[in-house]
Amino acid sequence: MPIFRYRGYRPDGTEAGGIIEASGMSDALSQVKAEGIFPSEITEPGIKRKKRFFQRIDETFLPNMTRQLSTLLSAGVPLMDALASLAAEHHGFYKEMLLAVKERLSGGVGLSRALEEFSDHFPEFYRNMVQAGEDSGNLDRVLQKLADFLEKQNTVKSKVRSSMLYPVFMMGVSIVVLSFLFTFVVPKIVKIFKDTKNALPFVTVVLIVISDIFIRYWWVLLGFAVALSLSVRKFVRNHRLFVDRLILKIPGNIIQSLYHARFARTLAFLLGGGLPMLKALGLSAKSTGNRELEASVLRGAERVAEGQRLSASLENLPPVFVQLISTGEKSGRLPETLSRAADAYEEEFTRRINQAVSLFEPAMIVLMGLVVGFIVLAILLPMFQLNQLIK
């Protein structure tokens, strides 16, 4: 049924508004009045799509909704009723989206087709898996696997973010502390030496110059930092293939383990869900996050279409990974083998990122110690010279 948005007033004069599902305008008017609201406006807006710049996508919505839908379907709840229950638990855009999907289902289309209108929130692999579940009659089981897969993806993302949080925080604190020292503390100390006519040590002169730059040209430093950040982002965006190719060529790169884990996890999930090999390879290639590796997997898919084995078709993958794929092909348990490979690469990524973070802390301490030592030395040297002059 169509979705209507209404605004009105309650008997006590307070404003009211919301979303209802009705067969027509008159039905919507009756429902609003039945709730004790005097409507001032009732419209049928459909789904208002916000610009991505202003829209914050809730990453927990899709796995949670998928898990709940799987549970409802497993309990024997009809799909239409299950979507209505899910819509009642949400508000705003997600409520309207679920009601719109329910409306399309009532028009006779399948769930996978109904989700196509919201491709930003339901990726292509998700819709393909839903279609496979509909065709096989095991939609509830497929949705359960989808929920497991999406939750695993979110767990990996959370690990990456939490691992990066501490270094970024430490770097930010260090910049703030050093800026405060050079802007407010150091100038008051070195002012004593500026008034003397004696020649100052070189390190003290350097300290005075740095302090003057922070005081007089802080806006230049800030503008340079912003310009550098924007330039790097623009370069990466305009030369994404070059950057991704460079990342793959760096030996022992931490991020490579994440690329391999994403590819193995997605391919194992899609093959285990019943998707054909070529379709699964095309979708898995997009999940890597590296355009060079994506192009390599797509070239491998072309060789597979020509009759070659998967292990002999893939490039830019570690020999151990290729050997695991070959073993999975020979044993007929490729999805299980790929899933174990994904676990191994995720553990390797976690281990390496933890090692990098553990090394970052002493490195920052040493760096801060060197800077503080430089400041102390630059202040103490002229003091020693003044002491010698007094003697």
| CB half-sphere exposure, 222, CA atoms < 13 A | 8
Provide the whole-model pTM. Answer: 0.68
Residue 270 has pLDDT above 60, yes or no: yes
The CATH class of 61-150 is mainly alpha
Closest residue by Cα to residue 168 from 346, 356, 375: 356
pLDDT in tens, 202-229: 888 888 888 888 888 888 888 998 999 9
pLDDT of residue 56: 55
pLDDT of residue 387: 64
CATH pick for 160-391 out of 3.40.50.720, 3.20.180.10, 1.20.81.30, 3.40.50.10190: 1.20.81.30
Report the distance separating Cα 307 and Cα 326, nearest Å.
15
Residue 36 has pLDDT above 90, yes or no: no
For every residue of 16-49, DSSP letters joined together read EEEEEE-SSHHHHHHHHHHTT-EEEEEE-----P
Where along the chain do its domains lie? 3-43, 61-150, 160-391
Q: Answer whether 61-150 and 160-391 agree in fold.
A: yes
pLDDT in tens, 124-157: 888 888 888 888 788 888 898 889 888 888 888 8
Decide: 364 and 174 in contact? Cβ < 8 Å: yes
Compute the average pLDDT of residues 67-89.
90
pLDDT in tens, 307-365: 889 988 888 888 899 999 999 999 889 999 999 999 999 888 888 888 887 888 788 88
Closest residue by Cα to residue 112 from 124, 100, 103: 124
Report the distance separating Cα 198 and Cα 109, nearest Å.
88
- pLDDT confidence of 105, banded at 50, 70, 90? confident
pLDDT of residue 52: 41
The residue count for the chain: 391
